[in-house]
Each structure stands twice: as C-alpha cells, then as structure tokens.
Structure 1
C-alpha cells in the first residue's frame, strides 16, 4: 500500500496531510464505496476540524451523505459504523506527535478496510477517477448526536460488570488529552469503579504528555496511582484504540506483558492468536502453555485484522490478538482495537488479584526499543541496506516477515522500517537485561555507522 501504510495515512498536518489532499482522498473513498451514507469522526488534534471539513466536502461532492460524529475515539466511530451499517472515515494520527494527523478508513462492519479495498482507493486517487455528482445530486452533511453514549453502552454491556463492580476498584486514568477523555471516565464509573484522572481535558496540543503512552511519558499516571492508592492505572493513545497499564505500586506494565496476560485469560486449547513480528516471547510462552497456535504478520493492525479474517473464514477460533503496544483485539466483541474495552477486560483480571500478580505470571523478560531517524530516501536506503547486511552476517535464525527478526534462542532482535514515521525501529528482548541492551545497541550502532560513511 503506497499511502495507507500499516495503520492508515499519517503525516504532518497542513504540510503532508493538507485539506486539499484530504478532500481528494475523501472523493476517492466516496467513489469506491459508491455513495450512500458515510460516518465521519476525528480525535482531538488541533488540525482535526479543518481536515474533517475537507473530508466532508470531498464525500458530499461524490454524492455521499455524511454523518458527522465530531470528536470520538476511533473504536467509538467503528461502533457507530457497525451499528448503522455504514462505512466511516476517521481523522486521526493515533500515537503520532501533535504536529501530525491522518486518515483511517472503516467498513460498514466496523472493521478497518481490507488491504484490497485500500489499494482500490489508492488507485482511484492516483488516477483521479472520481465519480463527481451532478450539482443537484451532491450529498448532505449532518451532525449526529448519541454516538458517544452508544459506544459507552457497548463496552459496559460486553464485560463482566458485576464482577468488576464487586471488587470496588480505584482506577487512575490518563487519556493523554486525547479522544479517550470523552468516554473512558464514564465507562469505568459505570463499571462501578472509583475514577481519578490526569491529562483528562481534550486538548489537541497534548500539553501533559505526548500521545504515545510509553513508560517514559507516564510519570503523571504513576504518581497518581501512588497518591490515590489506585488498584491500576490506565493510559490511552491519541485516539484511544490502545491501552497500557500501571500496576498498584506505580510501576509501568509493558504492552507485551499485558497482551500476554489478557491472552492467558482468553485462550483455550486449539484456539489461535495473531500478533506481529514484534511479538514478545511472553505471548509465545502463553500460547505454548495452553496449547494454542500463534501466527505472525507484518506490523500494523491492518495486517493483523486481515489474517484474523482469513482464520475466521476457515472456522478457526481467534479469541484474542494484537501487538505489544497496547493495541489488543477481541474479535468476538469487535474485530477492532479498542482501548477502553481492553482496559475493562484487564479490570476483570485485576478484580481477582492485584495487577502486579496478574503480570508476574508472564514476566521474566526485558525489552529494549530504539530507533534511527532518517532524512530523505537516500538515507533511508542506506539504513535498510545496513540492516540487511547485519542480518546476513548474524548467527541468529532469520524471520523476514517484516524487516529482519533474528532469533537467538535466549533472545531476539528485530530491525524494520516504521510504517508511520521516518524511522528505522529496533526491538530487542532477552531474559537478561544486559543481553537485550547489547542487542539493541549493536544494531543501532551498525546502522548509524553506515550513515556516517555516506
């Protein structure tokens, strides 16, 4: 996919993702879906209203009627699309910096467009083969109320509400000024939890922390957990399709660990789970322990969703899937990443025992992640060539599903190009912290050395 990458279109707002570009993308989308109603939502980014106006105009120009939902989490837009049976466009850059924005496409089943449909949109856009409507057959645009309430109800009704409420939990919530601030506080309160918040005012400049909820950015949440004696901390990314956690001691829980813990509670013998090549050995261990299968895909929710669909069509049970960044899918609920639902499922586990105990069962590994940024195609190619050279010379077992994953038995390292930012990402994991640190540093130094020789 040339434009949509691993998780939709993303780039600097008003430079790469401009109103003009967004309008043309919307015209291509409307042409591919053949008119009719299309829902339109956005996250809280400052550039969102501008781009939403452009997208609405593009859809209307090819005869679509636009249901404008306003600011909502991406999974709330997906909930609306599924309930109404209409496709949707979401203006979001998810975890990217505040400067960025993007476009994600959702089908009338509430699931991201499959790869072949995204490619069709790209083809129409490239050829500018838009089905412009006559002047008297253009579409309408209307504001729609009630989408937030529908989404809150869908999450609350889909989990073990009474079990969570009986545990009398205190939840510390950090939606990071993103779209989750509009829905997650209410969801957790309706689940019977006491809720305390930080960074919970929707703000497109993200003043409290960056939209990506990585451990280093969760200092406010860690302090809030300790100060309020909370049972668990929950953090979202910008569009709240992800959730990461802090335990009752104020220690960050890696997304790899929470995915493995959630999988341990959902998988049964004969099931299958799907993850990306960034998968932690934690999930491998869980799948082995319960006699379930594990399949790997290239990074990105689009790829994971496509593989889950294939397995479902074969009659295979896939109760849980996802990546170690907090993006988890429970296909029996909806084939979409949903931060609030993921957090509610984690609350079901915490209702039985402390968060630290939940995670202890899937512990024993250390992770390191870093990245090398590039400027321009020439530097990008140099870095990719250096990654290939490093992989060829390594004694590790190579998996080239997406980039170069080298398995060493006691550890692994992965180097791959980001699908959303101008970076080459490096991931390493080992049972010993020093081993993980060494692997990540060794790859990074090899890549940086290559660029200095240019």
Structure 2
C-alpha cells in the first residue's frame, strides 16, 4: 500500500497531512463504503478539528451523512461504529509527536479495516474515481454528544467492578492530555478506585509530555505514584488505545512484561495468541509453558487484527493478542486495542497482589531500542540494504517477515522501517543488558554509517 501503513496514514499536519489530502481520503472512503452515514471522531490534537472538518466536507460531497463524535478515544469511536453499524474516520496520530496527525479507518463492525479493504479505498484515492453527489443530495451533518459516556458505560459493563472495588485501589493516571483525559478518570472512579492524575487536562499541544507512553516521557507519573502511595500507575497515548503501567513503587513496567502477565492469566492450553515480529521472549516463554500457540505478524495493529480474524474463522480461540507497546486486544470484548479496558483487566490482577509481584516472573529481560531518522528514500533504502547485508553475514537465525530479525539463541535484534514515521527502528532483547546493548549498538552504527554515506 502506498498510502495506508500498518495503522492508517500519518504525517506532519498541514505539511504532509494537509486538509486537501484528508478531504480526498474521505471522498475515497465515502465512495468505497457507499454508506448512508459515516462517523468522524478525533483526539485532542491542535489540528484535529481542522482535519475533521476536511473529512466531513469530503464525505458530504459523496452524498454521505456525517455523525460528528468530537473528541473520543479511538476505542470509543470503534464502540460507536459497532453499536450504530456505521463506519468511522478517526483523525488521530496516536502516539506520534504533537505536530503529527493522521487518519484511521474503522469498519461498521468497529474493527480497523483489513488490508484488502484499505487497498480498495486506496485504489479509489489514487485514481480519483470519487462519487460526486448533486448539490441537493450532499450529506448532512449532526453532532453526537453521548459517545464518550456510552463508551464508559460499555467498559463498566464488561469489567469486574466488584473485584476491583473491593480491593480499594488508588490509581495514578497520566492520560497525557489526550482523548483518554475525557473518559479514563471517570471510568476508574466508577470502578471504585481513588484516582489521582497528572497531565489530565485535554490539550492538543501536549504541554506536559509527548503522547508516546515511554519511560522518558513518564517520569512525572512515577513521582505521582510514590507521592500518593498509589497501587498502580497507568499511562495512555494520544488516542488512549494503549496502556502502560508503573508498579506500586513508582517503577516503570515494561510493556512486554505486562502483556506476558495478562497472557498468563488469559491463555489456556490449545489457545492461540498473536503478536508481532518484535515479540518479547517473555511472551514466548508464557506460551510455551501453558501449551498454547504463538502466531507472529508484521508490526502494526492492522496485521494483527487480520491474523486474529483468520484464526477465529478457522475455529481457533484467541483470548488475547497484541504488542509490548501497550496495545493489547481482548477479542471476546471487542477486536480493538483499548487502553482503558486493558488497564481494567490488569486491575483485576492487582486486586489480588501488588503490581511488582505480578510482573516479577517476567523480569530479567533487558530491552534496548534505538530510532534512526531519515530525510530521504535514499537514506532509508541505504539503511535497509545495510541491515540486509549485516543479517546475511551473521550466524543468527534470520526472520524477514517484517524487517530483519536476528535470533542468536541468547538474544535477538531487529531492524525495521516505521510504518508511521520517517524512522528505522532497532530493537534488541537479551537476559543480559550488556548483550542487548551490544547487539543494538552494533546494528545502529552499521545503519547510521550507511545513512551518512547515502
């Protein structure tokens, strides 16, 4: 696909991702869907309203009526799609920096579109074979104000409220000024938790921290956990489809460790789980111990969703899936990543024992990650060629499902281009931190040299 990557299309707003481009994407979606109604939602980003207006204009020009949902977490927009039976265009760049925005397309079943559906819309976009309605049949717009509350109500109905409330937990919450600011504080309070927040005001310029919930952006959350004697810290990204945790001591919990702990609680022998090619050994170990199966896909929610659907169509049970970045699926609830619901499932575990004890079996793994920016296709291609040459000269087992993953037995390292940003990402994991750092640094130096020579 030329336009839609592993999780929609994104770019710097008003430079790469312009209103004119979003209008064309909406016209293509409206044409391909042929729906009477389509909803539009957005996160808190400063450019969100501008781009949502452009999307509304594009849809209306094809004769499609529009439900304007306003600011709502992406999983809340997906819940609306499933409840109302209408597709949704979500204006969000998820975890990307504030200057970015993006477009994510959701089907009438509440599930992100499969690759084949995205390709159909992309074909309309690239050929500009748009439907054009007569002036008196263009779409009408209506504002829908109840979406966020309806989403919270659905979450409450699906969570184990009694178990969580009986535990009398204190939650330190950092929604990062994103869409979760409008829903997660209420949700956790309604679960019976005491909630304290940082960066809890919706603000599209993200003054407190960048949207990505990584350790360097979450120092204040760790401090808040310690200052308030909270039982857990919870952080979201910009559209709240991810959840990252801190333990009761204010220490960051690796997303891979949280995924492994949740998988251990959900999986049974004979089940299947799905993750991406950068899967942690933590999850591999859990699956092996339980006697379940693990399926790997290229990185990105679209790829994981497609594989889950294929497995379930073949009678496989997939109770949990996802990646170690906090984006986790519980398909029996909804086939969408949902930061608030993931946190609620984790709170059910915390009701029984402290976070540090829950993740203790998954300690002892060291992760190192590097990003290398590029400014041109030539630089990107030079780095990927260097990664290929590096892989071919190695004795490690090579997996090229998405980038270049080298398994050394005691450790692994992966280089792959980002599907949402002009970056080549490097991941490494080992039991020994020096070993992981050695592998990541060696590959980084190789790719960086190739970029400089491009």
- TM-score of the superposed pair, with normalisation by structure 2: 0.99
Aligned-pair CA distance for 1:154: 0.9
Deviating above 4 A after TM superposition, structure 1's stretches of 4 or more consecutive aligned residues are none
Instruction: Trace 1:228-243 onto structure 2 (pairs within 5 A).
Output: 228-243=228-243
Partner of 1:373: 373
CA offsets 1:210-263 (integer angstroms, 9 cap, x no match): 000001111110000000000000000000000000000000001111111111
Find the aligned partners of 2:267 and 2:223 in 1 and give their Cα distance: 33
Instruction: Please say if residues 374 and 451 of structure 2, whose CA atoms lie closer than 8 Å, have aligned partners that are also in contact.
Output: no
Find the aligned partners of 1:70 and 1:12 in 2 and give their Cα distance: 21
Instruction: Please say if residues 35 and 63 of structure 1, whose CA atoms lie closer than 8 Å, have aligned partners that are also in contact.
Output: no
CA offsets 1:185-215 (integer angstroms, 9 cap, x no match): 0000010000000000000000000000001
Aligned-pair CA distance for 1:137: 1.0
> Aligned pair 1:317/2:305, yes or no?
no
Find the aligned partners of 1:288 and 1:362 in 2 and give their Cα distance: 14
Find the aligned partners of 2:362 and 2:165 in 1 and give their Cα distance: 26
SS at match of 1:252: coil
Partner of 1:140: 140
Instruction: Please say if residues 62 and 133 of structure 2, whose CA atoms lie closer than 8 Å, have aligned partners that are also in contact.
Output: yes
User: How many residues in Structure 1 have an aligned counterpart in Structure 2?
Assistant: 454
Instruction: Trace 1:245-394 onto structure 2 (pairs within 5 A).
Output: 245-394=245-394
Please tell me the root mean square deviation across aligned C-alpha atoms, in Å.
0.6
Find the aligned partners of 1:59 and 1:403 in 2 and give their Cα distance: 36
Instruction: Please say if residues 380 and 451 of structure 2, whose CA atoms lie closer than 8 Å, have aligned partners that are also in contact.
Output: no
Aligned-pair CA distance for 1:451: 2.5
Find the aligned partners of 1:63 and 1:443 in 2 and give their Cα distance: 51
SS at match of 1:123: helix
Aligned-pair CA distance for 1:35: 3.1
Instruction: Please say if residues 35 and 62 of structure 1, whose CA atoms lie closer than 8 Å, have aligned partners that are also in contact.
Output: no
Partner of 2:156: 156
Instruction: Trace 1:27-426 onto structure 2 (pairs within 5 A).
Output: 27-426=27-426
Structure 1: segments with no counterpart, 5+ residues: none
Partner of 1:453: 453
- TM-score of the superposed pair, with normalisation by structure 1: 0.99
CA offsets 1:124-173 (integer angstroms, 9 cap, x no match): 00010001111111111110121111100111111111000000000000
Find the aligned partners of 2:366 and 2:426 in 1 and give their Cα distance: 14
Find the aligned partners of 2:367 and 2:74 in 1 and give their Cα distance: 28
Find the aligned partners of 1:451 and 1:351 in 2 and give their Cα distance: 49
Find the aligned partners of 2:391 and 2:159 in 1 and give their Cα distance: 44
Structure 2: segments with no counterpart, 5+ residues: none
SS at match of 1:253: coil
Find the aligned partners of 2:171 and 2:55 in 1 and give their Cα distance: 37
Find the aligned partners of 1:451 and 1:187 in 2 and give their Cα distance: 46
SS at match of 1:361: helix
